[in-house]
Structures are given as C-alpha cells and as structure tokens.
Amino acid sequence: MAFTIAISGKGGTGKTTLAAFVIKFITEETGKPVLAVDADPNATLHDALGVDVSRTVSDIREETLENKLKLTQSGISKERLIEYEIQESVKECGRFDLITMGRPEGPGCYCYVNNLLRKYLGTLSAGFPFAVIDNEAGMEHLSRRTNGSVDLLLVVAEPTVVGANSARNIYRLSESLPVAVREKALILNKVPPAGVRDEVRRRLRAGGLPVAGNIPADEEVMEFAVTGKSLLDISPTNKAYGSVKMLTGRYIKAD
C-alpha cells in the first residue's frame, strides 16, 4: 500500500505549491514513482506540475449519473466501463501519474459511482510506493474517497492570526474524519524575512499546534506561478524548495 501524504489548507496558503514540491522531492531524491491526486475542486495541481488535463473524475461521475457513458463493446459491464474511463483520465507523466477529481457532486445520488471510485483508487494507489493528495480545506474528497489511512497530513497555513485559526479548524476536522491519520504536521508558508510574529506563535501554542517547519516567501516561486512554469523545474538552490526538502526528509528517507 502506498505511503499516503495528504496536504490541506485554506485557499491561497500555497498547499498546491507544497504538494508539487513534495512530489518533486520523492521522485528525484528517492527515485520512486508517485500517484498524485488533485482532490481540490479548484484543481490547479496540474498547472503546478506542468501537465495538461482535459478530463476529470467528476466528468465521468456526472456522465454516469446522466447515463451518457456509452457501451463501446458488447457485453462490457457498466462497472468495467467506469473503471476504464477513470483509467483513461489518469495522466501518465513518467515519474508520476496524476488523477484529477474535479468539481463537487451535484444534487443527485452518487453512492454507486463513489463506491466504484473508492475501489478503483484503492487498487490504483496500491501500485505506487507513494501517493500525494492535494485537498481542499474541507477535505471532503479525502473522507469520501480514501480507504484505510493517511500516513501523513500536512496542514499548510500562512503566518497570520487568520492562518493560525484556520489551521486549528483543519486539525479539528481531521480528527472527525472516518479516516485514520497517523501523523500530522503544521507548515507555515510564505514566512517573511522578519519571521513569525509573537501573536501568531501564541495562537498556535494555545491551539496545541506545534510548527513542523517554515517555508519562506519566495520571489522565484511567485514568478513560476505568474508565468505558469512547472514547479518541478524550480532551481536546485531555491530556498522554499530547500525548506520542503528538509521537512519531507524527516518523514521520507532517500535511498
């Protein structure tokens, strides 16, 4: 079973950047492949990784609910057809594969498709030593789609009072999920040169949230985001990526 890293945080905190850097670290430092899952309805992981995505799991889910999927071969079951369509939506990118979940569910009943999706993702992730899941703050996809457990939950927050409060809420939410989270770590992102303010530190201590690491605000990362460059091509000496390497290396040892 894959060592699963889930990343969550309020929108705009840089969790997708962290996800891309974690994927970069694993594939380059360990030489092992990664299943990347974009489980944020506002899907942007493919942009951060420099990958084009034309079809998402939500597209397949909606087409199934509306009976728009066509049986292309006589005798093929609906279950096999859905599995085939999901498999076709996976982007194979050499060092990693990417599957994009897409938009939230509509008002219909999705139980049948969700059960098939959970089963397929379990089978798919079993073929990888690592899985990295980029989640939305609410982590709905994580709670509905993941069997078993999450080995490491990285909660990303900005070094502000609002960021501290948001991180506390996500920590509390993670404790109510029907998924076993083995280890959690809080990451402060976009930390200015002056460091983290005392009031933010106080809020974090009061919430029982020890900080596992800081990622500095970085102009090169911003430039990559503005120009749409793949974060996998960030310079080796980039300080933000260097911080992520040190952090990730605590949990994942390079060969």
Token code pair at residue 105: 């569910």
Helix, strand, coil percentages for the chain (3-state, nearest 5): 45, 20, 35
Task: Report the pLDDT value the prediction gives residue 144, as an integer from 0 to 100.
Answer: 59
Residue 177 one-letter amino acid: L
Q: pLDDT tens for the chain, 255 residues: list them.
A: 789 999 999 889 999 999 999 999 999 999 999 999 998 888 899 999 999 998 888 888 777 776 665 555 556 777 777 778 888 889 999 999 999 988 766 665 556 666 767 777 777 888 899 999 998 877 766 665 555 678 999 999 999 999 999 999 998 888 887 778 899 999 999 999 999 999 999 999 988 898 999 999 999 999 999 999 999 999 999 999 999 999 999 998 766
Task: Report the pLDDT value the prediction gives residue 21, as an integer from 0 to 100.
Answer: 98
Q: Output the pTM of the full model.
A: 0.90
Cβ-defined contacts of 220-228 (< 8 Å, 24+): 221/17, 225/17, 228/47
Residues 6+ apart with CB under 8 A from 45: 16, 19, 20, 36, 38, 98, 100, 134
Token code pair at residue 2: 């894959």
Q: DSSP letters along 117-142, please?
A: HHHHHHHHHTT-SEEEEEE-TT-HHH
Q: Where are the domains of the chain?
A: 3-251
State the Cα–Cα distance between residues 161 and 28, nearest whole angstrom. 35
State the Cα–Cα distance between residues 244 and 144, nearest whole angstrom. 28
Query: In this structure, are residues 157 and 127 in contact, taking their beta carbons and an 8 Å threshold?
Result: no
Query: In this structure, are residues 133 and 174 in contact, taking their beta carbons and an 8 Å threshold?
Result: no
H or E element at residue 59: helix 57-65
In degrees, rounded to 5, the angle at the alpha carbon of residue 139 between the alpha carbons of residues 135 and 144 is 110
Does domain 3-251 match CATH 3.40.50.300? yes
